[in-house]
A and B are shown apart, each in its own frame.
Chain A
Amino acid sequence: MLAYILRRIIYMLVVLFVVSGITFVLMHAVPGGPFDGEKKLPAEIQANKEKYYHLDDPLYVQFFSYLSEVIIPRVTTDAPTLLSNDDYLLTIKTGEHWFKWMNFGPSYASRSRTVNDIFRDQLPVSFQLGLFALLIAVTIGMPLGILSALNHNKWPDYLAMSVAIFGVSVPTIVLAPTLVWIFGVSLKWLPPTGWGAKPPFVLGVFPSTLGWDYFKYAILPAFVLGFGSSAVIARLTRASVLQVIREDYIRTARAKGLAERAVILRHALKNALIPVVTVLGPLFAGLVTGTFITELVFGIPGLGKYFVISISNRDYPVIMGTILLYAVFLVISNLVVDILYGFLDPRIRYE
């Protein structure tokens, strides 16, 4: 098991290296630079700026120095400064020394901020939104799937599966404006735009105040984001339950006279939900990384918005940082799920 995890982690690093390489090449292949404005800068100023951000180095030097800044931890006696190239995601003081790790570099577009600043302020918002969306997806999807499997080929089944098809067919860009119009503009029950939490966040991710003032902003976007995934969960749950209730041990449970309720709850659902639980990891990663349409429509200050802007600004560190962060999210959640699977389902063994 340990060897398996170790191998997976090494493999994960390779994947991340390739992802960062492709992103780096692709982003530098887009013509134009971060300092090409409407008004052309004097050549020497342009050159100076590029020199300051090391953009005049050969590309491979830039790439590897970026990676080394991100990957290799520093241990120094220097206290952290406010300079934009001295901002590390992790800064821990141990005695005389400072342990600094993960410097994603400055943002070219907003000069007083670093990529880490953007991560600290914007990522928690996307994270909260993704978490709520996942909650909504599960609370709608699982009961719907179970209901439809237990009433296989009867009207609740058809109804639930119609809802599921509705869920996958109505995309975010349709659902979001429609719901904003209904609940935000016409009925005025919920605010049409905005987000109810500001930095600083508790533990770096959670909102500092919870209450209606917070939730009233979260309900619509979380529903919009989670609804599509609830359809996926419903279908998966249904298929899984249908498969399990045909197993021999269910027949055994019935044969020995267990109450139907106990058969379903204790024997069927417990086993049927394993594949559903394991899909939650990638789903969550997908929700967190797929928030930007929702963020755009609802005017939520999350990370997705920054990504789209950073591409048109040629804000290289922000592009790299966001893609890497999302990729890390994806690979880690896949790894967690694979490990979890081994615990939940003892039949699966990893060599």
Chain B
Amino acid sequence: MTTETNTPNHAAGQPITIKSQSLWQEAMGRLLRNRGAVTGGIIIILLVLTAIFADVIAPYTFDKQSLLDANAVPVWITKLFPSLKDYGVINNKYLIGADSLGRDLFSRIVYGTRVSLAVAFVGPVISLIIGVIYGSISGFFGGRVDNIMMRIVDVLYAFPGLLFIILLMAFFRTTLAQPPEGTFAYYLGQLDAKFGGLLFIMIGIGLTGWETQARLTRGQVLSVREKEYIEAARTIGVTNSRIMFRHILPNILGPLIVVETLSIPGYIYTEAFLSFIGLGVNPPTPSWGSMISAGSRALRAYPNQALFPALALAITMFAFNFLGDGLRDALEPRLRGTQE
């Protein structure tokens, strides 16, 4: 490992030395040699493209309804599930069939990518910002501040996570649904409605997901701040915030990225789970979770309505898990196997 030589040489205007680049390049090389991680990465890129070009890919809009085609199934699915032949509306208008309201399942899955990916990318940003700021303040100042701040995190850890987020969502959904016009809550509610209910999910995920980051950051900061180069920076009179952002943060970035990537599947799942129990996105915004929920109610009659969104969700979580695993092996070989 070249960690010790990794002291980034960021002093005014100096070019970054080759050695400090080589750590990241080396990690990149390790990552690219990992077949699972590369596959995961490619799938994620494809998913991102799907989300961006959803309007082009999807043959219908996600709320285009045609009640005559309710629960329609194409011919190839009736071959897969022969029992469907007896009662299904069989036509080839839809690639994988339509849901109980006559909306194209495929289009809804395609649009659903947006919701899942938005959570996958914004969730980590929120929890990173809160967690890193919190954890670095705690670790940097140490002593009593550290003690109090970490006890608060401990208390939050004792909250049963899923129950807490359900309660939080119930609070957001009802309290901020019709606040008096002109207040902050009102604009927040408006913004949330614009995003189809996604904003509150992200806030909820951010509020419940930052504790791990905070603990990790604190631990890393504690171990890094005793290093000689921090002492050197201090002796030449560098300010606290500059030490934090220029000297400490770049050095603890690796583990943070790894843990954050590995927690993305959890965020995606949380959104799907909330939509599953009806506290997630507002209909008709499609979410894989709410599609699985609707589909599993008709599981006996139309298995395709639950299985395809379930497949989409599983593939996405696979991709992020593989990438996260690869990143961990590449950036932090010592962490291997210690993460969930």
A residues whose Cβ falls under 8 Å from a Cβ of B:
14-16, 18-19, 22-23, 26-27, 29-32, 165-166, 168-174, 176-178, 180-181, 185, 232, 235-236, 238-240, 242, 289-290, 292-293, 296-297, 307-308, 311-312, 319, 322-323, 326-327, 330-331
List chain B residues, Cβ under 8 A from A180.
296, 299
Q: Assess whether A177 is in contact with B310, with CB atoms less than 8 Å apart.
A: yes
Question: Are B340 and A232 within 8 A (Cβ)?
Answer: yes
Task: Select A177's contact among B154, B160, B295, B325, beta carbons within 8 Å.
Answer: B295
**Number of B residues contacting the other chain (C-beta, 8 Å)?**
46
In the complex the two chains form, what is the Cα distance from A319 to B159 in whole Å? 13
**27 A-B pairs (CB sep. < 8 Å):** A15-B154, A22-B159, A26-B167, A26-B168, A165-B318, A165-B321, A165-B325, A168-B340, A170-B317, A171-B273, A171-B313, A173-B273, A173-B289, A174-B310, A177-B292, A181-B300, A181-B306, A185-B300, A185-B303, A232-B340, A236-B338, A240-B337, A311-B166, A323-B159, A327-B160, A330-B160, A331-B158
User: Which chain B residue lies CB-closest to A148?
Assistant: B337
- Smallest Cβ distance from A194 to chain B, in angstroms? 15
Interface assignment of B229: CB less than 8 Å from any CB of chain A: no
Chain A facing B: main interface SS? helix
Measured between alpha carbons, how far is A172 from B162 in the docked complex, in Å? 13
* Contact among B163, B171, B296, B300 with A29 in the assembled complex (CB-CB below 8 Å): B171
What's the Cα separation between A16 and B158 when bound, in Å? 8
B307 partner residues in chain A, CB cutoff 8 A: 177-178, 181
Assess whether B265 is in contact with A177, with CB atoms less than 8 Å apart. no
Please tell me if B200 contacts chain A, counting CB pairs below 8 Å.
no
A173 near B292 (CB under 8 angstroms)? yes
Inter-chain contacts of A292 with B (CB < 8 A) = 162, 277
B166 close to A308 (CB less than 8 A) = yes
Q: Is B174 an interface residue (CB 8 A)?
A: yes
Whole-angstrom CA separation of A292 from B277 in the bound complex: 10
Expressed in whole angstroms, the Cα–Cα distance for A181 and B167 within the complex equals 31
> In the bound complex, do residue B174 and residue A296 qualify as a contact, i.e. CB atoms below 8 Å apart?
no
- Contact call B167/A238, Cβ cutoff below 8 A: no
CA distance A59 to B299 in the complex (A): 45
- B168 — which chain A residues lie within 8 A by C-beta? 26
Bound-complex Cα distance A172 to B337 (A): 22
**Which residues from chain B contact A235 at a C-beta distance below 8 Å?**
337, 339-340
B327 CB to nearest chain A CB (Å): 14
Known contacts A27-B167, A168-B340, A296-B277, then 11 further A-B pairs from the complex at CB < 8 Å, ordered by chain A residue: A15-B154, A15-B155, A32-B174, A173-B272, A181-B299, A235-B340, A292-B277, A293-B276, A293-B277, A312-B170, A327-B160
Complex Cα distance, B160 from A15, in Å, reads 12
Q: How far is the CB of A104 from chain B (nearest CB, A)?
A: 16
Contact of B265 among A14, A169, A293 (CB under 8 A): A169
Seen from chain B, the residues whose Cβ lies within 8 Å of a Cβ on chain A are: 36, 154-155, 158-160, 162-164, 166-168, 170-171, 174-175, 265, 269, 272-273, 276-277, 289, 292-293, 295-296, 299-300, 303, 306-307, 310-311, 313-314, 317-318, 321-322, 325, 336-340
Which B residues are CB-close (under 8 A) to A174? 292, 310-311, 313-314
Q: Which of A173, A239, A293, A323 contacts B160 (CB 8 A)?
A: A323
Q: A30-B174, A185-B303, A307-B166 known; A171 and B272 CB under 8 Å?
A: yes
Can you name the residue of chain A whose Cβ is closest to the Cβ of B315?
Answer: A169
Which listed residue, A29, A169, A240, A323, touches B175 by the CB 8 Å rule?
A29
Closest to A325 in B: B160
Residues of B within 8 A of A165 (CB): 36, 318, 321-322, 325
Beyond A177-B292, A232-B340, whether A323 also contacts B299 by CB under 8 A is no
Which 3 residue pairs are nearest across A and B when measured between Cβ atoms? A239-B337, A177-B296, A326-B160
Cβ contact within 8 Å between A30 and B170: yes
Q: How far is the CA of A181 from the CA of B310 in the complex (A)?
A: 12
Minimal beta-carbon separation of A293 from chain B (angstroms): 6
Q: Return chain B residues, CB-CB under 8 Å to A166.
A: 318
Known contacts A293-B276, A297-B296; is-contact A168 B321 (Cβ 8 Å):
yes
Residues in chain A near residue B155, CB distance under 8 A: 14-15, 18-19
Residues of B within 8 A of A293 (CB): 273, 276-277
* Cα distance, A170 to B168, chains bound together (Å): 25
Cα separation A312 to B318 with both chains bound (whole Å) = 34
Contact with B158, one of A15, A29, A30, A172 (Cβ below 8 angstroms):
A15
Least CB distance from B18 to A in Å reads 31
Whether A307 pairs with B277 at a CB distance below 8 angstroms is no
Shortest Cβ distance from A297 into B: residue? B296
Contact partners of B164 in chain A: CB under 8 A: 323
Pick the contact of A169: B276, B277, B317, B337 (CB < 8 A). Answer: B317
| B49 CB to nearest A CB, Å | 21
A162 nearest CB neighbor, chain B only: B36
Given A19-B158, A177-B299, A297-B296, A169:B163 Cβ within 8 A: no
Alpha-carbon gap, A24 to B189, bound state (A): 23
Query: Are A311 and B292 also in contact (CB < 8 A) when A169-B265, A289-B162 are?
Result: no
Residue of B nearest to A149 (CB): B337
Complex Cα distance A22/B155, Å? 11
Given contacts A171-B272, A308-B277, A319-B167, contact A238 B337 (CB under 8 A): yes
On whether the beta carbons of A311 and B289 are closer than 8 Å, the reply is no
CB distance from B336 to the nearest CB of A (A): 7
When the two chains form their complex, are residues B170 and A171 in contact, meaning their CB atoms are under 8 A apart?
no
Q: Specify the chain B residue showing the minimal Cβ separation from A237.
A: B337
